[in-house]
A and B are shown apart, each in its own frame.
Chain A
């Protein structure tokens, strides 16, 4: 699709002026008169009985207003659960503060409210929590199969949820009769989102009006609103939340966490505004984590290496208090594990385990273990069968001719460039040339590797509270354009891209548009920004509203210019008779009439410069897809991996702003790289998190990242604008691409891979193990 005047253009962001000059307005930059500061006392034990909590010394500490425990807060609280998923999904019920026992290191036990954070931390040290430790349950397999210790006595089992194995007799028959059956286990290591800005909020309860106002750092302020109203026990309209700038989220700020609920309740208990800003240690050990999963994959193939069937047995660690079932990988594992391949038969079983660790939450592509495992499996099978991994993919990938294709799981893939992205990525990397270089390097004792990873991304989920978005668009009395959305951008340039849509479809400049989001009193109800949905759903709503408003502008202009509406063009913030741009009216002039001189429209159109449009995409998922290629060199003496090239060919439909899309892909890829080579939220057997600072939880750094080359294929979805969601895709494809590149590099040494992390120590272990095995 050819780019429009604005859609498809690399428009730069206006707000960068604020951000680069230090004029951002993040939660910790915001002050409310009289606000106090909170610090938590957190459990140092993964599991234990609370024998006593002595707050006497803490209460006497300088600057302390109150020290609150479960006895003060918990009974005040309404039920804490995600509105999207419902009360039943919060099992066991969330509690504000630990009550009688502790179930993970970092669990909040008390909250200190003081004049500043320094004083609050002083007092927190003086709260004496006497805990009788109990043996913690650590590790999902241990939790499910190897212990009788129960994380949540009220649940009676460590099985948090399960999808029973659903292998059909056809699946079993396919395996029984297959020429090749290959099985392997893949594990992802535990990771956490690490937005550069942690969680934070300012909670203000007004006892006289029984209302609550909050400033939140949230991806979905309407969800936060509903949740907080419920927790406070007030009607929905007694709450107002606002957001400023948000310093990243990646899923960690989609749903209210119990720490935030504690602050909300504390503000009510004390009738004082309270600010809580999470520090980095808290963000690492007490904010929700993700990715801790084990997948046992089996594939049956015929003699031509066509995949006949596959099965997956999945175990995931959801910690003690997961944020709802949606964070679980199980659902989408059931839906999309076969990925972009022609796999006619699929069986899956999944078990989620409670453990005495912090709970699982959403993290960019929460289900991505399906790609991590499947794509590593494809490469593993290729090596086992002596086939080129590209060739194996070419034989099994769904071709354009087969679209629309209904997968074994009932997913319908249409309008996707499954083969196209694979072939574009291969061309971009110059696959044949690489294989020659690789062979030559091996002769010199150097180990180069190439890893492929291709996937489908179920974006823009449209269901329940997330089914639709509404856009309210108005020309204000000054002639500028205001757009109100229920979005919650935190880096995705929603304001910019939606402004581009408005500019395109209403007929104004990008800089004429201002997006208002986050304020739950004024913005339409929405699903926030997460789940690769904003371009599709909010974009669709915005386009719809822009078209309606354009027609209203044209009607008013037509009346004032004594022309027919069909003859009116609206462009660059003016409405004029087509062919006579000089004889027209600016939006400001039209607004002046519509707001202040409505008698000029008597007998004509309504003096109405506002449009409201709700958009729901036609399908529950809008699928995008991509193919990643990673080229690396492994120093087999040190285990260090040098990422030399990284290629992404992606299809997300038309790009509203290629610069924004490429930024999202790049950020996602680097998070995926991090999850393989650097990041490991490890717990010891006593349930202590071992990576509580950035010295141990290693984020990918600027010196080590490859230049990411991005190509685009473009097929149109049947959504408004043809857009597809893509923001999680970079993270989805990268782990397998990196792991496969390392495995490819080390294959000549007989190394077999499948476990994360793949830091230098693990890689040397793998090389040693392979050397011993072959000795």
Chain B
């Protein structure tokens, strides 16, 4: 299983990379961590004339905080996110999702931008981005634009990134008082893509009643999906709320696929279980602080 041939480019600055992408358009692909792309190249489902290596651009791997948000360069390694105490404290959902991604060897190379741009519907980071309303900074040789997560994921393994464009950074809102976060997924073996899962953010008021939430499910279709009716039903939920009944609403909002590993009905039924389990943990955390 050997990849098809390509010309290799190793730009050292973002502008250099953008110039290469502008020059080669559809004939260029970027190489981030390679943990998703290179297997596809090995089976020749993906091929390109020009491979533009982003690993040689230090500027893409910076992390910066601003008021109420954290900006994470697209080439920040999953391993870095997993072990960074600042991220654990300020964007806990991102940190907590990370150990679920593959295995430590994968995370040593894999990047946050690569995972988001690859847009596997069963991956954790796209759902986290959706749950946190992350902002994607997308640059091309001429301009910079910002796209919310909601508008970023367009379909199966496809995003709004056009030829000549590069995802350069992702901005996540940082944790506020009264917020709780949780991720819950079902996988057949540790490190496998989820059969189904939920990434949740919940905010509660001083009495512990839910004021808002974002419930993003993965493994449920062509993209991650916010189950907004479930989010609506959760508003006002107090200590007596029937989380199971609320979580069940999610299964009416989904249209998942059958595949070799799980049926669509499994994904709906067990998806609701992951919603309930994630909400239980997130609400408890929100009420604690």
Contacts and interface: CB of A to CB of B under 8 A. Distances in A.
> Do A and B come into direct contact in the complex, CB within 8 Å?
yes
A595 interface: no
B260 A691 contact: yes
B24 interface: no
B260 A121 contact: no
B262 A678 contact: no
15 contacts: A125-B44, A281-B43, A637-B270, A640-B186, A678-B189, A682-B260, A693-B39, A759-B262, A760-B188, A761-B195, A761-B263, A764-B269, A765-B263, A768-B265, A768-B269
B104 interface: no
B2 A759 contact: no
B2 A761 contact: no
B30 to A, nearest CB: 22
A428 to B, nearest CB: 27
B192 interface: yes
Contacts of B189: 678, 698, 700-701, 703-704
A355 B146 CA distance: 54
A764 B260 contact: no
B4 interface: yes
A765 B43 contact: no
A122 B188 contact: no
A209 interface: no
B273 interface: yes
A695 B273 CA distance: 24
A544 B9 CA distance: 66
A690 B260 CA distance: 7
Instruction: State which size class the interface on A falls in.
Output: 20 to 34
A691 B39 CA distance: 15
A759 B44 contact: no
B272 to A, nearest CB: 9
B5 interface: yes
Given A281-B43, A693-B43, A696-B260, A761 B190 contact: no
A510 to B, nearest CB: 36
Contacts of B260: 680, 682, 690-691, 696
A765 B258 CA distance: 13
B266 interface: yes
Interface string B42-86: 011000000000000000000000000000000000000000000
A279 B188 contact: no
A297 B273 CA distance: 37
Residue from B190, B260, B263 whose CB has the most chain A CB atoms within 10 Å: B260
Chain B interface SS verdict (over half): loop
A280 B263 contact: no
Interface of A: 117-118, 121-122, 125, 279-281, 637-640, 678, 680, 682, 690-691, 693, 695-696, 698, 700-701, 703-704, 759-761, 764-765, 768
Nearest to B3: A118
B263 A638 contact: no
A575 B190 CA distance: 57
A759 B261 contact: yes
Contact of B266 (A117, A696, A761): A761
Interface string B171-203: 000000000000000101111110100000000
A124 to B, nearest CB: 10
A713 B126 CA distance: 54
B270 A764 contact: yes
A117 B42 CA distance: 12
A759 B269 CA distance: 15
B275 to A, nearest CB: 12
Nearest to A700: B189
B244 to A, nearest CB: 10
Contacts of A118: 2, 5
A639 B273 CA distance: 11
Interface centre among B1, B5, B263 (most CB of A within 10 A): B1
A677 to B, nearest CB: 8
Given A693-B43, A761-B266, A280 B1 contact: yes
B259 to A, nearest CB: 9
Nearest to A120: B2
Contacts of B262: 759-761
B4 A638 contact: no
A279 B4 contact: no
A760 B261 CA distance: 8
A272 B273 CA distance: 61
B83 to A, nearest CB: 20
A693 B192 CA distance: 13
Contacts of B2: 117-118, 121
Contacts of A122: 4-5
Given A640-B186, A760-B188, A760-B266, A281 B4 contact: no
Contacts of A125: 4, 44
B16 to A, nearest CB: 28
Given A280-B1, A690-B260, A760-B266, A698 B43 contact: no
